Amino acid sequence: MADFLKLKKSNCKNCYKCIRNCPVKSIRFSAGQANIVGNECILCGRCFVVCPQNAKEIVSEVEQVKYLLAQGSPVVASVAPSFIANYNGIGIKALEKALQKLGFTAAEETAIGATMVKKEYEKMTADGNHDIIISSCCHSANLLIQKYFPALLPYLANIKSPMQAHCTDIKLRFPGAKTVFIGPCVAKKDEADKYPEYVDAVLTFEELTNWFEEENIKLITDPEDKPLEESRARLFPTVGGILKTMNCDNEKYTYIAVDGVENCIAALRDIEQGNIHKCFIEMSACSGSCIGGPVMEKYHRSPIRDFGAVSSYAGNNDFETDILPENQMIKEMPPLTKSKEMPTEEEISAILAQIGKTKKEDELNCGTCGYNTCREKAIAVYQGKADLSMCLPFLKEKAENFSGNIIKNTPNGIIVLNEELEVQQINRAAMKIMNIPSASSVLGEQIVRIMDPKEFISVRKSGRGIRDKRVYLAEYGKYVEQTIIFDKEYRILFCIMRDITEYEEAKERKEAISKQTVDIADKVVEKQMRIVQEIASLLGETAAETKIALTKLKESIEDE
């Protein structure tokens, strides 16, 4: 399968919305990126519609069409009947004039081909030889059967789609012409690629609109676009639109319209189980049929208005058209199955165990990973389509346990507040610091109940955190180093407190001992100085007396 839907890797954000919405789970995750598995995809375009990051894009064929126009051969557009809903108030004549400004030779309604197709369906129901007949207009529905229900291919009408029938007819009427289909469906690109002899290129309405804007071509209503009674096949893009154009008068058949891939799958399973017989089933992959096509749904989704636009534009009779030879209306649709390697029960159990699912009750089957059950996800992991990390409940529980263990076992006190300064979380270390008996007694309460809110208010207002500030909690007789941080994204405040009471008390004791030692030293010095002074005084008196005595002795000796 050509790659008509591709990924813009830079935009894929691991949200898993595409796999949750993919009805056949044809998306593989690798290195956090979603990749479409081409041989499993049915090109319903659901991933393109739901992607919140616009990471999926439809491959444009505008340049290919420009090349066709430059070759000189006639290029005729086949415009899907849903155009009237996509381009409000613009009829086929106005659209043709705009297309001719781009270089197209002419533009016609695909509903002409739809008329041919519905007549073939009428022949099939009229002869009554078929048990079940499934319409083959929707290429996505055809791919669903070819890839996932190949045993039911005998029930799929081997009739060309309206696009193919109309383009075949155009090429018969315009020798050498090239045909370009324009519609709301990405799957038609694949259909044209698989049967290149009928359709040369496919544009979506989005591609055409962008092209018009690029060339500054405005769509203007045309007075020639008058109601056409012979245009009943314009109802084809609505739910039950095929049946509304058919003569459903063979009472042997029940005529049913099924839209949406999930409903199509349910119907096909019913057929597999032998629960349905003698039934004509109009099958459309898109919810709401073609007016709910992926391009319209993404940018132009208005089911009621769109249905009204198509219904009011359709007449009550068939288009006047020649019928193609029977051999020109046949289309072969072979099975497109590819066997997948399946894991054993032991291998499934081993994969489940890696994401903490060791018991049946551990399998939540919540679907957040995109798969309906944990077992389906485990099989996808085995087949290389999914990662273990896609199990969000497991990752959430793992992260909560990890952070919970850190908060629970850290020696630091931790308090979490919301923007209203209400306590959201408090750990045991914080409760010990503040003598709080249980967390429930403060959870949801204002921080002012247990702490001075001044610093919290300041941090919330300024957005600037406070780090390792020494604070004395007088009410509790504790010293702490306090850090307060405001998380602007989640609008919460974190308070981390390191109890330094013992350090501060030891510091005070050391200071007291130091002071006492200094005092004692001062007293000792003072006493020593006093003793020295006393000794000096005594020594001075003794020296003086000695001097006097010696002087007298000297004088006495000199006199002799």
Task: Classify 304 in phi/psi space as left (phi over 0), alpha (psi -120 to 50) or beta.
Answer: alpha
pLDDT of residue 209: 95
pLDDT tens for the chain, residues 1 to 560: 457 888 777 678 778 889 999 999 999 987 778 889 999 999 999 999 999 888 888 999 999 999 999 999 999 999 999 999 999 889 999 999 999 999 999 999 999 999 999 999 999 999 999 999 999 999 999 999 999 999 999 999 999 999 999 999 999 999 999 999 999 999 999 999 999 999 999 999 999 999 999 999 999 999 888 889 999 999 999 999 999 999 999 999 999 999 999 999 999 999 999 999 999 999 999 999 999 999 886 666 788 999 999 999 999 999 999 888 888 999 999 999 877 889 999 999 999 999 888 888 888 888 888 888 999 989 999 988 888 888 878 777 777 677 778 788 889 999 999 999 999 999 999 999 999 999 999 999 999 999 999 999 999 999 999 999 999 999 999 999 999 999 988 899 999 999 999 888 888 888 888 888 878 877 877 888 888 787 777 777 676 676 676 666 666 666 65
Strand 254-259: give its sheet, edge to edge: 132-134, 279-284, 254-259
In the 8-state DSSP scheme, what is residue 156? B
CATH of 1-59 among 3.30.70.20, 2.40.110.10, 3.90.1170.30, 3.30.465.10: 3.30.70.20
258 φ, ψ to 5°?
-125, 125
Give 422's strand partners.
446
Per-residue tokens: 324: 């193609």
Instruction: Confirm if 88 and 309 have CB atoms less than 8 A apart.
Output: yes
Same CATH topology for 1-59 and 341-409: the answer is no
Cα dihedral value 119, 123, 128, 132, nearest 10: -50
> How are beta strands 254-259 and 132-134 bridged, if at all?
unpaired
Strand 413-418: give its sheet, edge to edge: 423-426, 413-418, 492-499, 478-487, 466-473
Give 480's strand partners.
471, 499
345: helix, strand or coil: helix
Q: How many other β-carbons are positioned within 10 Å of the β-carbon of residue 337?
A: 14
pLDDT of residue 517: 80
Q: How far is CA 256 from the centre of its chain?
A: 34
pTM of the model: 0.74
pLDDT of residue 260: 96
334: helix, strand or coil: coil
CATH of domain 341-409: 1.10.15
Count of alpha carbons within 13 angstroms of residue 71, beta-carbon side: 14
- Measure the CA–CA gap between 356 and 353, rounded to whole angstroms: 5
Best CA proximity match to 351, nearest among 384, 376, 382: 382
- Measure the CA–CA gap between 117 and 114, rounded to whole angstroms: 5
Q: Which superfamily, per CATH, for 410-499?
A: PAS domain (3.30.450.20)
Domains of the chain by residue range: 1-59, 60-221+230-328, 341-409, 410-499
In the 8-state DSSP scheme, what is residue 257? E
- Measure the CA–CA gap between 293 and 204, rounded to whole angstroms: 10
Per-residue tokens: 465: 């955190």
522: helix, strand or coil: helix
Which positions ≥6 away from 259 have C-beta within 8 Å? 239, 283, 284, 285, 286, 287, 288, 289, 292
- Measure the CA–CA gap between 374 and 167, rounded to whole angstroms: 46
CATH of domain 60-221+230-328: 3.40.950.10
360 φ, ψ to 5°?
-60, -40
pLDDT of residue 559: 63
Q: How many other β-carbons are positioned within 10 Å of the β-carbon of residue 216?
A: 7
- Measure the CA–CA gap between 252 and 255, rounded to whole angstroms: 10
